[in-house]
């Protein structure tokens, strides 16, 4: 089955080898040179009063109301892992003594190290604060993932100082995702779509926004595995397989929405004729002459090809080779 000796393969093998050598060399040379950057926050000090110092200025009437954090899992001193079992506000915002100090007349207040206006620390380092605690499961794949490389910060999607973070509520999650992925969200208004519009299905039912090694940041290792999670009847394996189905559901379907029934990318018969042109009816062009008033052809109207070949996802009938049983 495997063909070898192709010229293109040989060329690419050498290119990959060269890439790996360069990569290793760069890593080896680069790591030592950057070690000095690790201690850039060592001079900062924590406040003596902890959250009491912060809450003296930041309360429910501020620009960003904060008091609802005391209704959240972050504010549970009984859980030794949480911010309020440690340095309280400064567990996440960084040592705040400098930011909270008494100011001289006309002196500008120094920024808080993390998660504030003009924060001292980089977005990457601020993400690291969250990931220090939230690093299990799929978050292990955050580094190098699409969102990480596009400089998406945890705070771009999450809200910490509210009693319920909207993006963690399935029915509201899509509202947050659509801030950046509006083009995907609007597809749910098309003729056929998954139940995204009503909140009965969330983006994270299929996607893993915290990083994934899989195509399109999917949770499952393959795209088809994602679809089979809810559509296990399409999984087979069938006696008579329709290979494009087992290969990739998106060969025929647009998962976010479509102008055609069943999330199809095109209407049959043209969708089917993209891959089938056998002698006989599959090769015949269907024209407006086939509409009611003309030939009223069953090869076009209703379900078109599916009027007979209804088992397009595969058939387990011994006589179902042409996917009509």
Partner 1 sequence: MLALKSQWILSFGVALAISPAAVMAETDDATEECEACAFDWEPRGYVEAGVLWLEDDEPDFTNYRGFDRDGLFLNGAIDVIERNEDGTYWSLQGQNLGLGSRSAAIRGGRQGAVDYFLDYQELNHDLYDSTKTVFSGVGSERLELPANWVRGDTTKDLTRLDVALRNIDIELERKTLATGLRFFQGENWDYNFQYTADERDGTRLMGGSFLLRSVILPEPVDDITHRFDLSVGYLAKLWQLRLAYHGSFYDNDNESLTWDNPFTVPGDAPRGRSAAAPDNSFNRLMLSGAFRPTRWLSGSGHIAVGRLEQDESFIPATINPDIGPVGLPRQNLDAEVNTLNARLRLTGNATRRLTLKAEGFFDERDNDTPVDNYRQVDTDLFLAELRENRPYSFEKSGGELSADYRLTSNTDLSTGYGIERSEFTFQEVDATDTDLYFGELRTRPGERVELRLRLGWEDRDIDGDYDPLEAVPPENPLLRKFNLADRDRREIRIAGNYYASEQLSFGLNSVYADDDYHNSAIGLTEARDRMVTLDASWSPGQNLNAYVYFTRQNIESDIAGSESFGRPDWFAQHDDTINTFGGGVQAREIIPHLELGVDLAYTRSRGNISVDSRTSDQKFPQLKADRVSTRIYGEYSVSDRWSYRLDYWLEHYEQEDFFIDGVAPDTTDNVLTTGRVSPDYVIHAAGISARYRF
Q: Of residues 160-179, which lie at the interface with partner 1 (CB under 8 A)?
A: 171
Regarding 186 and contact with partner 1 (CB under 8 A), the answer is yes
Separation between Cα atoms, residue 131 and residue 142, nearest integer Å:
9
Regarding 76 and contact with partner 1 (CB under 8 A), the answer is yes
Contacts with partner 1 by CB under 8 A: the residue count is 137
What per-residue string of b and e applies to 241-257 under the rule 16 or more CB within 10 Å gives b? Answer: ebeebbeebbebbbbbb
Task: Give the contacts of 244 (CB within 8 A, at least 6 positions apart).
Answer: 251, 252, 275
Nearer to partner 1, 76 or 119 (CB): 76
Regarding 315 and contact with partner 1 (CB under 8 A), the answer is yes
| DSSP code for 100 | H
Minimum distance between the CB of residue 253 and partner 1, rounded to whole angstroms? 13
Site for partner 1 in 283-302 (CB under 8 A): 283-289, 291-292, 296-298, 300-302
Nearer to partner 1, 101 or 266 (CB): 266
Site for partner 1 in 245-284 (CB under 8 A): 246-248, 251, 259-260, 265-267, 270, 273-280, 283-284
Minimum distance between the CB of residue 305 and partner 1, rounded to whole angstroms? 9
Minimum distance between the CB of residue 104 and partner 1, rounded to whole angstroms? 26
Q: Which phi-psi region, left, alpha or beta, contains residue 280 (left: φ > 0; alpha: ψ -120 to 50)?
A: left
Regarding 17 and contact with partner 1 (CB under 8 A), the answer is no
Separation between Cα atoms, residue 148 and residue 116, nearest integer Å:
20
Regarding 46 and contact with partner 1 (CB under 8 A), the answer is no
Site for partner 1 in 128-157 (CB under 8 A): 135-137, 140-141, 143-144, 149-151
Binding segment toward partner 1, per CB under 8 A, in 83-91, 94-102, 103-111, 153-161: 83-91
Residue 259 has which token pair?
């102008």
Binding segment toward partner 1, per CB under 8 A, in 48-56, 98-106, 108-116, 153-161: 48-56
Separation between Cα atoms, residue 158 and residue 180, nearest integer Å:
14
* 3-state DSSP assignment of residue 102: coil
- Candidates 77, 103, 134, 146: give the one binding partner 1 (CB under 8 A): 77
- Candidates 123, 146, 244, 255: give the one binding partner 1 (CB under 8 A): 244
Separation between Cα atoms, residue 216 and residue 250, nearest integer Å:
12
| DSSP code for 252 | T
CB 92 within 8 A of CB 108: no
Site for partner 1 in 102-131 (CB under 8 A): none
* 3-state DSSP assignment of residue 258: strand
Separation between Cα atoms, residue 147 and residue 181, nearest integer Å:
12
Separation between Cα atoms, residue 5 and residue 9, nearest integer Å:
7
| DSSP code for 112 | P
Minimum distance between the CB of residue 43 and partner 1, rounded to whole angstroms? 19
Regarding 57 and contact with partner 1 (CB under 8 A), the answer is no
- Candidates 14, 80, 102, 108: give the one binding partner 1 (CB under 8 A): 80
């Amino acid at each position: 089955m495997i063909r070898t000796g192709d010229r293109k393969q040989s060329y690419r093998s050498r290119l990959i080898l060269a890439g790996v050598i360069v990569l290793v060399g760069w890593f080896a040379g680069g790591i030592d040179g950057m070690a000095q950057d690790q201690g850039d926050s060592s001079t900062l000090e924590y406040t003596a009063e902890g959250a009491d110092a912060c809450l003296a200025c930041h309360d429910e009437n501020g620009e960003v109301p904060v008091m609802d954090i005391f209704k959240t899992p972050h504010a549970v001193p009984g859980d030794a892992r949480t911010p309020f079992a440690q340095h309280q506000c400064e567990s996440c915002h960084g040592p705040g003594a400098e930011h909270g100090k008494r100011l001289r007349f006309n002196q500008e207040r120094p920024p808080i190290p993390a998660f504030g206006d003009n924060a001292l620390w980089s977005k990457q380092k601020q993400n690291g604060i969250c990931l220090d605690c939230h690093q299990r499961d799929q978050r292990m794949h955050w580094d190098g993932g699409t969102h990480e490389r596009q400089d998406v910060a945890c705070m771009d999607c999450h809200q910490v100082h509210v009693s319920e973070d909207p993006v963690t509520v399935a029915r509201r999650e899509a509202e947050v995702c659509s801030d950046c992925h509006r083009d995907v969200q609007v597809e749910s208004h098309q003729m056929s779509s998954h139940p995204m519009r009503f909140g009965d299905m969330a983006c994270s039912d299929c996607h893993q926004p915290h990083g994934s090694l899989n195509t399109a940041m999917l949770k499952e290792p393959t795209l088809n595995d994602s679809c089979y999670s809810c559509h296990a009847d399409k999984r087979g394996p069938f006696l008579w397989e329709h290979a494009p189905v087992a290969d990739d559901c998106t060969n025929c379907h647009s998962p976010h929405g479509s102008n055609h029934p069943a999330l199809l990318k095109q209407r049959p018969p043209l969708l089917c004729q993209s891959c089938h042109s056998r002698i006989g009816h599959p090769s015949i062009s269907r024209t407006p002459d086939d509409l009611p008033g003309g030939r009223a052809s069953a090869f076009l109207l209703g379900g078109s090809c599916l009027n007979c070949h209804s088992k397009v996802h595969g058939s387990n009938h011994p006589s179902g080779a042409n996917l009509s049983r």
